[in-house]
Amino acid sequence: MQRIWATETPQRVGERVTVAGFVHSRRDHGKLVFIDLRDRSGILQIVFRAGQTEGADPEELRGEWIIAVEGEVRARPESLVNPHIETGGVELLGAHLTVLSRAETPPFDISDENAMRNVDEELRLRYRYLDLRRPSVRERLRMRHETVAFIRRFLTERGFWEIETPILSKSTPEGARDYVVPSRLQPGSFYALPQSPQQYKQLLMVAGVERYFQIARCFRDEDTRGDRQPEFTQLDIEMAFVEQEDILRLTEELFTALIRKQFPDKHILHSPWPRLDHEDVMKRYGSDRPDLREHPEDPNELAFAWILNFPLFEAEPEDAPDSVSVAGLPPGKRYAPSHHMFTAPRPEDVVKLEENPSAVRSLQHDVVLNGYEVGGGSIRIHDSELQKKIFHLIGFTPEQEDQFAHFLTAFRYGVPPHGGIAPGLDRLLMILLGQPNLREVIAFPKTGDGRDLMMDAPAPVEEAQLKELGIRIQPKPTG
């Protein structure tokens, strides 16, 4: 007999069915044994009568054993209906029991959500495959899946193509530290894991794709925190022949439709979203990620806003770390991109690049939500001479500029105006699901210091593997 989900049983009253899953809990009542069976869909009560069950003995069952049960679905008496679960109006009268797998006692009680609040997080992460069995965690995974599925449908219906870009790429100076991967076939050379698909998506615009998106994995070797992980997922969007307004409108429509469909209990405070000037926001709030909620204690209130007119550069003292001397720039200054080096300046400010780069505003756009940045993007530079000018202003040496030779070569063959945005899915879901950190919305997250406790990573590799790659480990300097 084909197995069905637990939550299908309310439509199968009077039928003989087979269900399978984990023993969530067990209760003995004299000649009756009650088992709450848990599968991915939910929980179902199963009743075994003493001496009336074929196969295994129900009295031997323990928590987290995996079982299959065949029996008749019947309606519960009205006085015993459980309104708190989807299957609360039915139960399964077990006729045949099969034990598929026995389990040791878990290191924490999966069935008790209240007790789980006191379980050390590192213990949960070490046994993450058990933590993921909890209904509350499973529900977050389901909501993540449905969110991504909604985004895919929304963008596909609007003419976007989902295109995967490489994970093994080239290290280029774009901001955060790269994770590097040695090449066995080209000794002494390294790939880099992408901080974002930035160059690839712009090259797709050069290729004439026009509307691209990707649920992209990104990697940054940064110090972690509650809203940051070394590897994360972002929704990557790029569009050709657009202005900034087109990107803002699309993003706002996508998020609004997503929340109405997947998170109907949430209330978007302002529609359309406020558009705030970066300088004004910094003066008023002291932050470019203001929390604009009227009632911050209300978990269902969502205050989106756009932050616009960012400075194109952040000026830093010449003696700042990794500072460089740039010929022709004001003394004591160097310039770092406020967003990234491919962001276009506002057209009316281009003339200021020669005499006062600090005064140049950009076509960057950040979306903030309840005090977090949940996405950022810009209109990109599509003129090779302007791009070279930006490289010069941020102090690129000829050798550093050569690292982008592939990019500038592509620009010689025509580049449509283009731009995009990259909302962070983990951070967005963290807020929408009311979680305290990103780890609660990621299936297999890492700790605050970047460790995977379940897999015990990072870890040393064998000397033979290092030798094959031509790598020798040097002791880390002390003092």
Cα distance from N-terminal residue to C-terminal residue, the chain: 68
Rounded Cα gap, residues 93 and 88, in angstroms: 14
Q: Answer yes or no: is 380 a known binding residue.
A: yes
3-state class (DSSP) for residue 293: coil
Phi, psi dihedral angles at 266 (to 5 degrees):
-85, 145
Closest CA to 214 of 163, 254, 251: 163
Q: Answer yes or no: is 426 a known binding residue.
A: yes
Residues whose CB falls within 8 Å of the CB of residue 470, separated by 6 or more in sequence, listed in order: 182, 187, 188
Q: Is 438 within 8 Å of 233 (Cβ atoms)?
A: no
Question: Which structure tokens are listed for 106?
Answer: 């878990």
Q: Is 220 within 8 Å of 230 (Cβ atoms)?
A: yes
Long-range contacts for 118-121 (Cβ within 8 Å, ≥24 apart)? 121/439
Q: Answer yes or no: is 353 a known binding residue.
A: no
Q: Answer yes or no: is 61 a known binding residue.
A: no
Q: Answer yes or no: is 120 a known binding residue.
A: no
> Distance of CA 197 to CAs 203, 386, 478, Å?
10, 21, 36
Q: Answer yes or no: is 211 a known binding residue.
A: no
Instruction: Determine which helix (DSSP H) or strand (DSSP E) holds 275, and give its type and residue range.
Output: strand 275-277
Q: Answer yes or no: is 424 a known binding residue.
A: yes
Q: CA 253 from chain center: how many Å?
A: 20
Cis-peptide, bond into residue 458, ω within 30° of zero? yes
Q: Answer yes or no: is 472 a known binding residue.
A: no
Rounded Cα gap, residues 478 and 329, in angstroms: 37
3-state class (DSSP) for residue 310: coil
Q: Answer yes or no: is 373 a known binding residue.
A: yes
Strands (E), 410-468: 418-423
Calculate ∠ Cα 301-305-310, nearest 5°.
150
Determine the length of the chain: 479
Q: Answer yes or no: is 339 a known binding residue.
A: yes
Phi, psi dihedral angles at 398 (to 5 degrees):
-55, -35
Give the residue ranges of the annotated binding site: 174, 220-222, 229, 339, 373, 380, 424-427
Q: Which residues are annotated as a binding site for ATP?
A: 220-222, 229, 373, 424-427
Which residues sit in the known binding site for L-aspartate? Answer: 174, 220, 339, 380
